[in-house]
Amino acid sequence: MAYTEIKKQGGSAYYYRVKSVRKGEKVAKKRVYLGKNLSLKERKAKELKADLQLLFLGNLLRKEEINEIESLKKRYSHEPKENFENRYESFCAFFTYDSNAIEGNTLTLRETADLLFENIVPNAKTLREVNETINHKAAFDYMLKYKGNITGSFICRLHEIVIKNTLREEIANQQGRYRNVQVYIRGVKEIPPPPGKVPNEMKSLLSWHTRNGRKLHPFVVACYFHIAFELIHPFVDGNGRVGRLLMNSILHKSGYPMVNIPNARKREYYEALHEAQVNGKIRDFVLLISDILKKQNVLF
């Protein structure tokens, strides 16, 4: 387990992230310098990045937990092609309903399915909610067909599709591009990075994915990418929906079934996400997503 070490010198405090590494009978320590005289907020953000350098994520899952995930992958790979369309429609309806409901959309699961696959527009729902539903399926379909690597342009295109015709007029020009204004997350004290830092933060995350995408277990990669993406909050709106699409894109490209986070478990999801971002409890978040996947009725 990694921990933070503080060395005081000349009235200043120097922070290091430390991990003990066993080599035969000896135990050595790997250190990553975090910085000098850091605030708690600065320290937590740097600790998260340092844990990656210390390969903390490489030891995140126990062997039996990996075996459970691999068993799900095997089950998924044996799903018959004959019911592909049926599974697609079922998962797409659930995923669209739940991902939108987490963000406050009031369409029911039945209304969502009828709109997406029968073109039946529900009564007494706002145009924004209808557009959010149609957009999510379009983004999901785009993600399924996309064969390239995860890039900034791919992420911005997903965002452009997800929030089409849903933004207020004064921020409509933010569609499909990193935000140029500060955003705040309701119910959370921590503030996402200022807009000027977003491009570099996203570049850093994408670089991490390029370097580690094949070194770490794909399930861990998908979960960590989601945690870091939501911490950056690169868009004015739609970050949650885009982030869950990206998590599933990583799983899908690696041959794993995609995960649908139920609206009924929204509170657990938000709390685990917050604990991972603020207190570095990444393992708890990964185990939550794994538990959700294990209890999922449709593997797609």
Closest CA to 129 of 109, 145, 108, 106: 106
One-character DSSP codes across 215-280:
TS-HHHHHHHHHHHHHHH--SSS-HHHHHHHHHHHHHHHTTPPP----GGGHHHHHHHHHHHHHH-
What is the CB-side half-sphere exposure of residue 216 using CA atoms within 13 A? Answer: 26
Respond yes or no: is residue 217 known to be catalytic.
no
Can you tell me the distance from the alpha carbon of 251 to that of 265, in angstroms, rounded to the nearest whole number?
20
Q: Confirm if 91 and 76 have CB atoms less than 8 A apart.
A: no
Three-state DSSP class for residue 191? coil
Q: Confirm if 238 and 135 have CB atoms less than 8 A apart.
A: no
From the list 209, 217, 226, 233, the catalytic residue is 233
User: Which residues neighbour 266 within 8 Å (Cβ) at sequence distance 6 or greater?
Assistant: 101, 102
Q: How many helices (H) and strands (E) does the chain have?
A: 11, 3
Looking at residue 56, the DSSP 8-state letter turns out to be G
Q: Confirm if 294 and 72 have CB atoms less than 8 A apart.
A: yes
> What is the edge-to-edge ordering of all strands in the sheet holding 26-36?
3-9, 12-23, 26-36
Q: Annotated catalytic sites, by residue?
A: 233
